């Protein structure tokens, strides 16, 4: 007797798959797809049903809402005119067969004169800044001091260290006022809100905490980072906090509700520093993948990626009054100045040959860079000229190798510079009197 032939499997699979698709809305076969028109209709119905009540805020909340979005740079913010502004001109076709042109100069002396003239016209005289001097050394931490932030009223400042403690110090006397415990690993970032009585901290324990400074306790945690959090920054006008860390992302949080607004993803390595400003780009990140990214905060997407650095970017600084910022990595031409909002390269601050961990700039145009080997450089921010180089002196009893500078900030007046280092001390520098 001839064996009965089995029906082909493919049509059966499709019929069965169609049924499965109808039940579970998933398919094992790409050929069974929902029609585009019905998908669109289904989505619009779903959006209407689920979100119609949330399309507009209630009137009471709408009245409280300020204008949202990036503000224009304030009038006192100076725009940079130097540096390439038209990105289109930067990319030019390279002609491999240049035609030799005869020199227009009759003699070599004329040529050297012209070159000399060219050199003199290019030189810009830097602004004079008085030298800076170490005024005070504060010890008290039991680990590397990794973060520092000054309170907007300029009365006190906070430091976070490898001993997992946040300490509050009196700015005038250097006395310890308070120790806050709660982190279970190194405290890597601190920020004090100018508009609320809040201190924000983040650390290698993946935690981002909001401390109420009236009760001196943690009132909120922001959960979401998958690894250590290395930096945080507060938005100057919106109730928004941005944190970044070893999970190669920067995260934007609603300060009040603890909700995560955006995950700014795109970097491929640790995001070592993040900075916020009120006008576009509102968020700037520097990463160990050796790039700097400027972000569109509303869309949560990258506006520009700057790939000029050769090594990991560990520090950023936004100028308080000029519409520009600087970034730093390791190497020779490792500190770079950029023009906002498009991120056009302006020039290199060349000469600080070290791994740069921290940058700070004040409104007078004094720009500070601190290195992993304990070297400190003070620059004129406008011209990129270094006017002072110092060496960090490790605390007595420390090893010479413990001379690294990890964090720095100017106080609100810009006349004092506070640094934290590997010798577990906080050092305060001030301008020398004339």
239-248 per-position pLDDT tens digit: 999 999 999 9
Structure-derived torsion over alpha carbons of residues 179, 181, 185, 186, reported in degrees to the nearest 10: -20
Residue 74: per-residue pLDDT: 65
Sign of CA dihedral 321, 323, 324, 325: positive
- At residue 51, what are phi and psi to the nearest 5 degrees? -120, 0
CA 341/CA 79 separation, integer angstroms:
10
The angle at the Cα of 67, spanning 62 to 70, to the nearest 5 degrees, equals: 145
C-alpha to C-alpha distances, 88 to 190, 248, 343, nearest whole angstrom: 39, 30, 13
Give the global pTM: 0.74
Task: Please name which of 330, 297, 305, 302 lies closest in space to residue 315, comparing C-alpha atoms.
Answer: 330
Strand stretches in 309-410, DSSP E: 315-318, 324-328, 330-331, 335-339, 344-349, 354-361, 366-371, 375-380, 385-391, 405-410
DSSP state of 27: -
CA 213/CA 199 separation, integer angstroms:
7
- At residue 37, what are phi and psi to the nearest 5 degrees? -65, -45
Residue 399: per-residue pLDDT: 79
Residue 91: per-residue pLDDT: 45
50-81 per-position pLDDT tens digit: 777 767 767 776 776 665 556 666 666 777 66
Instruction: Mention the CATH class of domain 129-431.
Output: mainly beta
C-alpha to C-alpha distances, 397 to 136, 143, 163, 164, nearest whole angstrom: 17, 14, 18, 22
- Low-confidence stretches of the chain (pLDDT < 70) are 1-4, 25-34, 54, 57, 61, 64-76, 80-108, 111, 114-123, 434
Segment (H or E) for 287: strand 283-287
Residue 243's Cβ-count burial label (10 Å; 0-12, 13-18, 19+) is buried
CA 173 to chain centre: 31
Residue 87: per-residue pLDDT: 45
Residue 51: per-residue pLDDT: 77
Task: Please name which of 158, 157, 156, 208 lies closest in space to residue 182, comparing C-alpha atoms.
Answer: 208
DSSP 110-126: HHHHHHHHHHHHH--PP
Give the β-pairing of 344-349 and 229-234. unpaired
Provide the residue ranges of all domains of the chain, joining segments of one domain with +. 129-431
CA 255/CA 233 separation, integer angstroms:
12
């Amino acid at each position: 007797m001839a064996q009965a032939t089995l029906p082909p499997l493919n049509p059966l699979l499709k019929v069965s798959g169609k049924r499965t698709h109808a039940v579970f809305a998933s398919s094992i076969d790409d050929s069974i797809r929902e029609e585009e028109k019905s998908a669109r209709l289904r989505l619009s119905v779903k959006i209407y049903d689920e979100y119609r009540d949330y399309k507009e805020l209630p009137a009471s909340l709408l009245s409280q809402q300020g204008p949202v979005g990036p503000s224009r740079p304030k009038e006192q913010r100076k725009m940079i005119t130097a540096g390439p502004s038209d990105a289109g001109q930067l990319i030019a076709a390279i002609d491999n067969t240049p035609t030799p042109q005869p020199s227009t100069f009759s003699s070599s002396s004329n040529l050297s004169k012209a070159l000399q003239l060219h050199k003199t016209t290019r030189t810009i005289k830097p602004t004079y800044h008085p030298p800076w001097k170490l005024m005070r050394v504060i010890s008290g931490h039991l680990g590397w001091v990794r973060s520092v932030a000054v309170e907007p009223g300029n009365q006190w400042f906070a430091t976070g260290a490898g001993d997992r403690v946040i300490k509050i110090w009196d700015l005038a006397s250097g006395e310890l006022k308070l120790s806050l415990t709660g982190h279970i690993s190194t405290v890597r970032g601190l920020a004090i809100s100018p508009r609320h009585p809040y201190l924000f901290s983040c650390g290698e324990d993946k935690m981002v905490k909001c401390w109420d400074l009236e009760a001196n306790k943690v009132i909120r945690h922001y959960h979401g980072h998958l690894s250590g959090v290395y930096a945080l920054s507060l938005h100057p006008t919106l109730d928004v906090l941005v944190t970044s860390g070893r999970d190669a992302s920067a995260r934007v949080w609603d300060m009040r509700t603890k909700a995560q607004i955006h995950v700014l993803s795109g970097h491929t390595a640790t995001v070592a520093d993040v900075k916020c400003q009120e006008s576009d780009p509102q968020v700037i990140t520097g990463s160990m993948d050796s790039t700097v990214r400027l972000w569109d905060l509303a869309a949560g997407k990258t506006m520009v990626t700057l790939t000029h650095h050769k090594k990991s970017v560990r520090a950023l600084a936004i100028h308080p009054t000029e519409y520009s910022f600087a970034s730093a990595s390791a190497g020779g031409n490792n500190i770079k100045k950029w023009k906002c909002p498009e991120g056009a390269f302006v020039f290199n601050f060349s000469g600080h040959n070290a791994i740069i961990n921290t940058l700070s700039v004040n409104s007078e145009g004094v720009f500070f860079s601190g290195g992993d080997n304990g070297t400190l450089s003070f620059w004129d921010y406008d011209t990129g000229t270094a006017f002072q180089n110092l060496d960090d002196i490790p605390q007595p009893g420390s090893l010479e190798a413990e001379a690294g500078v990890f964090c720095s900030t100017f106080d609100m007046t810009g006349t004092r510079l506070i640094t934290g280092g590997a010798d577990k001390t906080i050092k305060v520098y001030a301008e020398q009197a004339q």
